[in-house]
A and B are shown apart, each in its own frame.
Chain A
Amino acid sequence: MTAAVQPTETRVPPPEADRPRPISAPASPADRAFRGLLRAAGLSVFALMGLIAFFLLLRGTEAFDAVGWSFLTEQRWRTAAHSFGIAAVLPDGILIAVIALCIAVPVALTAALFISEYAPVRLRPTLISLVDLMAAIPSIVYGLWGLFFLQPRIVGFCRWLAVHLGGALPFLEVRTGDIATSYTSSTFIAGTVVSLMIIPIITSLSREVFSQAPAGEREGAYALGSTRWGMVRTVVLPFGRGGVIGAVMLGFGRAMGETIAVALIISPVFRLSWHVLENGGNSISSLIALRFSESDSLSLSALMAAGLVLFAITLLVNVAAGFIISRSRSGASTSD
């Protein structure tokens, strides 16, 4: 044994001996076939995305050519007058999404914490499927509910907000006079309805990452004399932070793209306004839904161009969310 080792230690190794040798690991035909199938499926998703973007770009070119960069700065939407842009609909849509997040995030996170940490174990599967069921309700149903049930009942609250807090917080001010219709069809009401639609996805994803918090660390916290809330604060929330941020961003992406409920509730106004309780608002997707029946080709092209912008923003938000989730401890599969 030592005799075999000795020479290699004393002899100067030839320079080429230190190079890594090629290692071949030929896959079996079945493996190769399966891998090929998966690769094709994966690539087709990318291809589809690319084709959608390409289609929108192609159809939107006419509108871009017609108005140029003013497409990004123009608030009005008058295709016949060659004066249209997304400077009002895009921020308005973001505003709806932000309002939706303001309502959905606290509700979704506390619901997720309740389900994963506090609810009786026997009740958990029921609660999980209830939340998932929420996601299965068609958005037109939420829209109708918002229009016919929620709106008449929430107007009083909106008015209260405007009257009591409007002075202190300008964005809650309503400048259109104190009549009932001043408060309807507002960005706020649309955001409220949209929030219901993004609660399930945020709850679902957050609950998932919360429940993955390592049992060892949970026990470690308990063994130090921690209360349940202390354990949640020290172990579960830090562990789930990345996943929660990702979930919120995915929710934001969905809220941006939400169409029908917004289209039903909002009364379209092409003027940028930060007064969220006032009648009127807009979003790109509801604009597309409401104006799609317009036949003239420039109008359609303008809608496609707006759709392209929305597509790009949503894609960006979702990619960023995915990046954050995968970088976080809770999202990385290698963590233990």
Chain B
Amino acid sequence: MIRVFGWNEFLIIVVAAQWTIALSAIAFAGGSVGGLLMALMRVSEVRAFRRFATGFIRLFQGTPLLMQLFLVYFGMNIVGFAINPWIAAAVALALHASAFLGEIWRGCIEAVPKGQREAATALGLRYYHSMRHVILPQAIRIAVAPTVGFLVQLIKGTSLASIIGFTELTRQGQIINNATFSPFLVFGTVAAIYFLLCWPLSLVARRMETRFSRATAR
């Protein structure tokens, strides 16, 4: 029995986009915390921190996201957790995002002129206040555009979670396709939804980039 790709099938795919959005949001939130930690460790004066963060980032930048998903998914089973695609996908993507955001934000922190940290230090401000009030507020302005750019990558990256059985947009598309055998229509719809999620973000990122380059032009 072959189902026809109709209005209902279309709506099922659209509704599945919520899981793509939810997974992206969780991965991004986790990645923000992890990324800040990685970035601060990368610029730390403590060599062990720098080494650890560098290793972590190299590892995640040098392996495919799909392998990271597999390793977390099967690894969780080995250390005694029940197999749960939701948690595995969220953890793997958050770690992935931590590495990439860590590297992006390290660059932004280092882009703040050295004199700013020196002025803060000379005024007696110690690490926490100097980071919190002087360095990070300036780094954040530089970081917004590349961060939004990475968010677009992350949203597209969530499609790989379909392979470990997490039912998000892509997997829902596969399921519907198995019933309707209209791959062009189905995956065309899926692609269009990704595009509608990502395109506005790309526009925002580009706008911010021009605004920032104008703001820093001297």
Are chains A and B native binding partners rather than an unrelated pairing?
Answer: no
Q: A residues touching B (Cβ–Cβ < 8 Å)?
A: none
Q: B residues touching A (Cβ–Cβ < 8 Å)?
A: none
